[in-house]
Amino acid sequence: MVCATTPVAAALGGPVLGIETSCDETAVALVHHGRVLTNRVATQVPMHRRFGGVVPEIAARNHLLTILPTLEIALEDVGLTPQQLGGLAVTNRPGLIGALLVGVQTAKTLALAWNLPLVGVDHIEAHVWAATLHPPEDKAYTPPMLPFLALAVSGGHTSLYRVEGPGRMALLGRTLDDAAGEAFDKFARLVGLPYPGGPQVDFHAQAGDAKRFALPKGMRGRSDFAFSFSGLKTAARLLIERLQAEGQAIEGQLLDDLCASFQVAVVEQLVRITTQAARHHGLRDLVIAGGVAANLGLRQGLALACQAEGLRCLPVPLAYCTDNAAMVAGLGEALLNTGLRDDPHTLDAVPTGLVRRAIP
């Protein structure tokens, strides 16, 4: 699959409208000069919860039902007509193919009908670029300075990047097995918490004693900035099975302590390897992005470690951590400003995310 990409001189005539449908959130947002004008997310989480995870076909069908109403609401929010927009951005990789296709087809059609420049963006790069977005309510928000280090932690990814600019991210290390969000979700399922497990574990961990159970922190003595959560997941499963065999119900204080002990093990590994990478690569600004960046333990743990090491910790604002379209519109605006354009006749959805293209 190839994205036909033509660099042209950029002059955007107004805000960029972003569309995100890669998983289970139908989202539309508008961003102008890095400022978020509106950020609408129609979540499908309640529809997938009874299955314990996202069902791709259900996700795609619901995106189809929700995309146009969400788009209309976002445009009403800002009181703009399509003629006043400067461009369109859509997540076209990676993600669930059926889900991606809804957003991509919608964006391509609108680009042709409204005669607007279009760019397809990478979902993980958009998560990271969300660190540069200016939330409307936060007057004191400080964006990171390029180049910066970014830890992208979501349901499908745990990766470290050196970020040089929009669409220019060099991979420094990633997980060898599960993503951090996946580990949270699998652990939550083991202790009987509903999907998506991360926020639930986070909530219970706040009332728990993280020292009660010692779980493996993993990936010591390596210098390749790789992460791994499979050992931790197995240790947690064996511990829970032992407790259940002893007749203990996984609820109340025991549940809180298990969540706190698990969370601290994930956070310790993420913080240790991320700060190591910052030192090694001489990067002072450190961004955490993606759904797991909403985790309070991770935000606090990384803030403390950064303070101790003289680094600047810049977690993505909470509203832009889990899937949203502000991040898509933000990265799209930055890419369009570099002159990047995708052809609305040929832009494709790429579930693997493996796309090669030159950034002008």
Residues at the contact surface with ligand KG4, assessed by CB under 6 A:
23, 127, 154-156, 181, 184-185, 196-199, 202, 290-292, 294-295, 322-323
Rounded least distance, CB 23 to Zn ion, Å = 6
Q: Which is nearer to ligand KG4, 161 or 184 (CB)?
A: 184
Complex with ligand KG4: residue 100 or 292, whichever CB lies closer: 292
Measured from the CB atom, the residue of 80 and 130 that comes closer to ligand KG4 is 130
Dig out the tokens for 39 from the structure: 């950020």
For the CB of residue 114, give the shortest distance to Zn ion in the complex, in Å.
27
Q: Which residue has the tokens 């909403």?
A: 294
Tokens standing for residue 352:
């693997």
DSSP 318: G
Element (H, E) at 263: helix 252-281
200 binds, among Zn ion, ligand KG4, none (CB under 5 to 8 A by kind): none
CB 13, min distance to Zn ion, A: 29
Please give the torsion angle defined by the CA atoms of residues 165, 222, 294 and 324, in that order, rounded to the nearest 10 degrees. Answer: 40
Cα(320)–Cα(324) distance, integer angstroms: 6
Least Å from the CB of residue 221 to ligand KG4? 26
Among Zn ion, ligand KG4, none, residue 178 binds (CB under 5-8 Å by kind): none
How far apart are CB 122 and Zn ion at their closest, in Å?
Answer: 11
- Please identify which residue in 202, 323, 333, 342 interacts with Zn ion, judged by CB under 5 A: 323
Residue 8 CA, chain-centre distance (Å), reads 29
Residues 6+ apart with CB under 8 A from 249: none
Stretch that binds Zn ion, among 58-66, 80-88, 147-155, 274-282 (CB under 5 A): 147-155
Interface pick for Zn ion out of 26, 91, 154, 159 (rule CB under 5 A): 154
Buried b (16+ CB within 10 A) or exposed e, 107-132: bbebbeeeebbbbbbbbbbbbbbbbb
Least distance (Å) from ligand KG4 to the CB of residue 360? 27
For residue 147, give the DSSP letter: S
Q: Which residues of 32-60 are buried (b: 16+ CB within 10 A; e: fewer)?
A: beeebbbbbbbebeeebeeeebbbbebbb
User: Within 13 Å and on the Cβ side, how many CA atoms surround 4?
Assistant: 5
- Backbone torsions φ then ψ of 61, nearest 5 degrees: -65, -40
Contact between 333 and Zn ion per CB under 5 A: no
Find the shortest distance in angstroms from Cβ 54 to ligand KG4: 9
Backbone φ and ψ for 267, nearest 5 degrees, come out as -65, -45
CB of 178 to ligand KG4, least distance (A): 10
Strands 148-153, 158-165: pairing is: antiparallel
To ligand KG4, the closest distance from the beta carbon of 106 in angstroms equals 19
Q: Cβ closer to Zn ion: 154 or 275?
A: 154
| Residue whose CB is less far from ligand KG4, 120 or 290 | 290
Q: Which does 330 bind (CB under 5 to 8 A by kind): Zn ion, ligand KG4, none?
A: none
Span interacting with Zn ion, options 229-237, 257-265, 322-330, 338-346, rule CB under 5 A: 322-330
Q: What whole-number distance in Å separates Cα of residue 183 and Cα of residue 157?
A: 11
Contact partner, 88, from Zn ion, ligand KG4, none, Cβ < 5-8 Å per class: none
Smaller CB distance to ligand KG4: residue 103 or 196?
196
Query: Which of these ranges, 3-11, 194-202, 238-246, 318-326, lies near Zn ion under the rule CB under 5 A?
Result: 318-326
- And the tokens for 228? 């791994």
Eight-class DSSP state of 10? -
CA distance 238 to 47: 31
- Return the one option of ligand KG4, Zn ion, none that residue 317 interacts with (CB less than 5 to 8 A, by type): none
Residues lying near Zn ion in the complex (CB under 5 A): 154, 323
